[in-house]
Amino acid sequence: MTHAVINLDLPGPTISRHLYGHFAEHLGRCVYGGFWVGEDSPLPNVGGIRSDVVEALRAIRIPNLRWPGGCFADEYHWRDGVGPRGQRPRMVNTHWGNVEENNHFGTHEFMHLCELLGADAYVNGNVGSGTVREMSDWVEYLTRAGDSPMVALRKANGRDEPWRVPFWGIGNEAWGCGGNLTAEAYTDLARQFGTFVRDHGDNRVYRIAAGGHTDEYGWTEALMKARGPYQAVSLHYYTTFPGDGRGGATTFTTEHYYDTMRRAQRIEELIRGHETVMDRYDPQVDIGLVVDEWGTWWDVEDGTNPGFLYQQNTMRDALVASVHFDAFHRHARRVVMANIAQTVNVLQAMLLTEAETGTLIRTPTYHVFEMNVGHHDARALAVHFRDGVPNRDGLDLVSASASTQNDTALVSLTNLDAEAPRTVLLDLRGREVSAHRARVLTGSHLQAHNTADAPDAVAPTEHPAVRAHPRGLEVDLPPHSYVTVHLDLG
């Protein structure tokens, strides 16, 4: 039995709800055909935004939405996406499928979407092919009240009041699609562009400098050393097999699954590495680490546009998500925001939709987000495995994290073993537990996933396999499963 000690009376840092953030790029069918169906669509919509998509996402309380990219952000010129839709210029989305972008979904549509979702806006500005003035004007257009050239333009486009935009990205992947820059060259640009991302009126902007990817610690170091006008540094890390054979989302072997989970658990090493650099320059933790792209990246589904990054989502993806959240919770002191890539129809999506048939499928990953809502803004509780956890060739087969708020606690337990069940003893100390209830997410096999014909093949159910123990609770974990245990504290 795996023995996990949790001191319920020793809460740690707050787990920001923004760790459960999202990402919507003009890529494939995320925006067009996903969120946006247009006002003339036969599908129920509010001003062109698909209603059932909004409803499904409200249930997982998405706290923020990053937009318009990604690589697309550094090609996007915001003025093309305001004003009467029919008159907006068209462009080619060169990064993603070389398809025409008609700019029908622009600034006003995005801010409307955020309002419908109840999510904070995270706008990613264009450094790679934009100008300082363009970015500065966009901030003014969005957030300034009173009178100014940009305010007049916004009003002419039908919106009198400014919006609240709390998060701003200064470019994206500047080491690659955002300009192929060196760390030093980008750091200078981040200082320059960041200076002109102004706080207008009461709107306080949290500026996020585009960080390195994976283990580019030198990039983080350059940004930290420079201490520019930004409040956070980002990190991108995908769970994938780079190169040509990333592997199919639903067609993988058990060994490939274990390799995947080893790559997913690497997020712990990477956060620690970037944290170590940040601690050296910022021991008081003024600068946040924002993991604003993470998730799985598989081969696209057969017959779909390779540039659209459309993939199915299985129990394997769900466990990649739960392992990431455990790491984010453990590092909540420094990791203040994270954005899974991406929300609808792209990469590790929450929802898979078809605009023609009106299909909407909640993926296994969606259910992990829903099961974890209780961690939002709760205080982290350390989980200590007294005798370690079972290990398979470097992979920890059990993962866990916990949090507490309002006289409750939530414990997350993942069994990564493909075949064997596990029992975890929750050794609960410091407070009485007056009641408990548990839920489980698993599938008949690792490749189990949801489809239009079987939308609930993988969905959470009540989990009665929890027993009282003199030290706390014994929890049975089926093979390849994710379990949450809710505790009422006396």
Binding site for ligand AHR (CB under 6 A): 25, 69-71, 172-173, 293, 341-342, 347
Cβ closer to ligand AHR: 6 or 27? 27
Cβ closer to ligand AHR: 2 or 343? 343
Least separation, in Å, of the C-beta of 379 and ligand AHR? 31
Distance of alpha carbon 259 from alpha carbon 263, whole angstroms: 6
**DSSP one-letter code for 89:** P
Torsion angle of the four alpha carbons 343, 410, 377, 56, in this order, in degrees rounded to the nearest 10: 30
**149 alpha carbon, distance to own chain's centre:** 35
350 and 344 Cβ atoms separated by less than 8 Å: yes
Cβ closer to ligand AHR: 48 or 295? 295
Least separation, in Å, of the C-beta of 36 and ligand AHR? 18
Distance of alpha carbon 232 from alpha carbon 59, whole angstroms: 28
Least separation, in Å, of the C-beta of 215 and ligand AHR? 16
315 and 211 Cβ atoms separated by less than 8 Å: no
Least separation, in Å, of the C-beta of 174 and ligand AHR? 10
Choosing from 173, 216, 221, 370, which is the catalytic residue? 173
Peptide bond into 21 cis (omega under 30): no
110 and 68 Cβ atoms separated by less than 8 Å: yes
Burial 416-437 (b: 16+ CB within 10 A, else e): bbbeeebebbbbbeebebeebe
Least separation, in Å, of the C-beta of 72 and ligand AHR? 6
173 is a catalytic site residue = yes
Write out the H or E segment, with its range, that includes residue 265.
Answer: helix 254-281
Residue nearest to ligand AHR (CB): 70
Cβ closer to ligand AHR: 320 or 438? 320
422 and 475 Cβ atoms separated by less than 8 Å: no
268 is a catalytic site residue = no
320 in the Ramachandran plot: left (φ > 0), alpha (ψ -120 to 50) or beta?
Answer: alpha
Cβ closer to ligand AHR: 177 or 477? 177
Supply the Cα-derived Rg of the chain in whole angstroms.
Answer: 22
Cβ closer to ligand AHR: 341 or 371? 341
Cβ closer to ligand AHR: 70 or 212? 70
Token readout for 451 is: 């489809």
Least separation, in Å, of the C-beta of 49 and ligand AHR? 21
Choosing from 101, 268, 293, 370, which is the catalytic residue? 293
Burial 318-337 (b: 16+ CB within 10 A, else e): bbbbbbbbbbbbbbbebbbb
Least separation, in Å, of the C-beta of 16 and ligand AHR? 22
Which residues does the annotation mark as catalytic?
173, 293
